[in-house]
Every structure is written in structure tokens, then in C-alpha cells.
Structure 1
């Protein structure tokens, strides 16, 4: 059966933009499963529920888990694979004679679960994890710029990592939001009455949700948003 595996970031992005409700109709259209790992559940639900902050957001995610929209998977084989990938990924790049920790266990559990399930894609908003899967060579440049120092590469480890991650595809929350827009799931915000009050309402709606995702944590550039806006313009 088809599946997507979600990292913490995209679910936070959707929740903080009042768009978590989109997952249920998207899951039905997808005709597959939306998975998270036990570690992601801890970050999204268990930890926030033990504090005062983000407790309501955690309850929203919990509701989607209880209804089966999001399924939590806890398999020892996935954790073992995640630790293997974690050690490999965090020994690919060095600065000042030390390995650079570029990813955490939660992110690698998401990757490991997707490999284990043969999922269609992982849903990740964080830039480093996306680079790691799609174009790991860019991490050297990205981390060098971020740390303001020279970063070296362990090419043997990087080659081994690329080989293991090769089957994966990555999508972000903005791709899910754009798909929801294309499917008409956001049309409840563009009724005839609202259209009378604001010209170009659909365009404004799309721009608002894309920028909302960017400002709440999705790694997308303003140029990418402009490209999506251009592609989604009605054909004349």
C-alpha cells in the first residue's frame, strides 16, 4: 500500500497555520497511509502535553492520530537502521578536525521508516535533511556558509550514504499545500461573497498560505514561492 512518512516539521508547519485539517482529505485522495515514527510522536504530542506551551497544537495532532489519519509506527528494525544512518550521516562532513552533527535521530527514523516501508516519499521541511536525500554535496557549501569555516567531506561515507538514500523522494509542506489548493480544498476561503470584497482572492489565498508555511519553518525561498504563484496562475 502507498505511504508517506512525515517528519516533525511539516506537521508543525500545518498546525501553526491552521491547516492540519488538510491531511484528512489529502489522505483520502492519496489512497494510502500517512505515517510518523514514535520519536516524531514524542516531539509532536508527548513533550508538548507535558508543558504549558503548544499543548493545544499537540491535542490537534493527537486527534488526527486517534482518528487514524496519522498512523504511528514503532518497529525496532527501524530504530536500528536509523542509528546506522545517523552515524553515517554525521561522519560525512568535518570542520576544525571534528565531525559535524548535521541530523538528529528523529529525522533519521523518518528516513529509515520510509526505506523500510518502501514509501513514495518523506515529508520534510528542514533544509539539511532534504539536501541529505536529494543533493548531499550541497551540505558542504551550506554548512560552510552557516558555520563560516571550511568544511571537508568524507567521500567514502558520503557515497555509501547516497547509495542507501537513493530510493527516497522528498516533498515539503508547501507541496502538500499547493496540491490542496489545486484540488479545491481551500475554496471555502474564496466564496462569492469574499470574491466581491477582494479582487484576485484566489491568488492572494495561495500567496498567503505559501508565505505562512515559509514563516513557520518550511525551507522555501521567495523565488520558489514566486515560481509556484506563476505556475498556478489561471491560463488565459
Structure 2
């Protein structure tokens, strides 16, 4: 049975900045499925940064993952780019009109993140098992706890936020993991290059400091799983 993990830029950046691509390659072998990025995510993590000297090296490393088919494009699953693009626009427009203040709709997510949701929906329709790897908090809250996102936006923007709750249904049913869960699997499967010391603790805090939305309590909970 075909299965896939769809990666947002946030998760790949977290892994890249922590030098965890050797473990990522081993994880792909152990997964026995596809690691997928959309065209919009490719633009964010390869096409755009490869032209900026500060980010050029990391972009080349990620591009090598694509060349080596560690990462693949949706076409490897029979999904054309145009199909993803159409669904992306549809979901982006819904997401960015879900929350509003007295003055305007609140823009909450961009094309890269939404394209992952779009591809997931398409794969669901094709009966291809899939899960999303997303570190960014806003997207995860939209999917998992949209009411909490409404409160968070109000605090951040210092204004009353209202939601079009009829839109929530469009974002239900997605399965999401973070780089934290990925490094936990790396640890459990003994794929980490480091073998001695508090390796799991170090991995979890490393991805947190590079952008993974995970609390101290969640880190301790994962560590208790051992």
C-alpha cells in the first residue's frame, strides 16, 4: 500500500538547521513510503534560497535530497502540479477569510503551507495514506484547534477577532506530525548518529530552538515514552 509524508518548509528547515539530513535519509529508508514536497514548498526551500548567498548551501543540500529521490514531487504519486495549484488557491482563500476583525479578514497562512493541505486532500481522494509534517503553529491550530487560534489571533493583534465557523470543516481530518515526532522516531529506531548521552532530549530541544512548535511539557511527555 502506498503511503506518504508531505513536508512543509518549516519541518525541513528545522531538520536542515540542526544537521539532521543524514538521519532524515535513514528515516526515509525505514519508512518504506514517499517523502513528498509540493512545488510551492520547493520554491520556498530550494528555488528562492539558492539565489541568496546566506542560504545557498542549505538549499543545495535539500536539492540533493530531491536529486537522490529522498524527497519527491507529487507527480511521483500521479498528481499533476495544476491539480495541486487549483486546490491550493481554493483552500488558501477559505483559510484567509476564516478569521476577521472589524476592519478586514486576517491573513493567516501562505501558499506553501496550504499546498500541503491541498495535496493531502487529493491523496485522500486517491486512497493514498498520508500525513503532514508541519512545525508551524498557526497551520496546526487551524487544523486541530481553530477556536484556540481565534483567541490567539485576538491576543497577538490586540483586537477582537471573529471567525466564520462554517469554514472550520474544510480543515478537519488532516493528520499532522512535527519534526519533534520525526526525531523521536529517529531515536527509537536507533537511526541517530549520536549514541551516548541524553540524545532524545538534545534532539527535541534542538528542533524546538529551530522553530518546531512544541512546549517544554510536550518534550517531557515524549521523553517519558522513552
Aligned ranges for residues 1-236 of structure 1 at < 5 Å? 1-73=2-74, 75-118=81-124, 119-158=129-168, 162=169, 164-186=170-192, 188-190=193-195, 195=196, 201=197, 204-232=198-226
| 1:9-34 CA distance string (max 9 Å, x none) | 00000000000222222122211101
Q: Structure 2: how far apart are the matches of 1:183 and 1:174? A: 14
TM-score by length of 2: 0.91
Higher-Rg structure is 1
Q: Kindly indicate whether the alpha-carbon contact (under 8 Å) linking 1:6 and 1:124 is maintained by their aligned counterparts in 2.
A: yes
Q: Structure 1: how far apart are the matches of 2:116 and 2:82? A: 13
Q: Structure 2: how far apart are the matches of 1:151 and 1:19? A: 39
Q: 1:98 aligns to what SS in structure 2?
A: coil
How many angstroms does 1:227 deviate by? 1.3
Q: Structure 1: how far apart are the matches of 2:172 and 2:99? A: 19
Q: 2:132 aligns to what SS in structure 1?
A: strand
How many angstroms does 1:39 deviate by? 1.0
| 1:16-71 CA distance string (max 9 Å, x none) | 00002222221222111010011111111111111111111111101110000100
Structure 1: unaligned runs, 5 residues or longer: 196-200
The alignment yields a C-alpha RMSD, in angstroms, of 1.3
Match of 1:198 in 2: none
Q: Kindly indicate whether the alpha-carbon contact (under 8 Å) linking 1:124 and 1:171 is maintained by their aligned counterparts in 2.
A: yes
Q: Structure 2: how far apart are the matches of 1:88 and 1:141? A: 19
Q: Kindly indicate whether the alpha-carbon contact (under 8 Å) linking 1:15 and 1:57 is maintained by their aligned counterparts in 2.
A: yes
Aligned pairs, number: 216
TM-score by length of 1: 0.87
How many angstroms does 1:231 deviate by? 2.2
Structure 2: unaligned runs, 5 residues or longer: 75-79
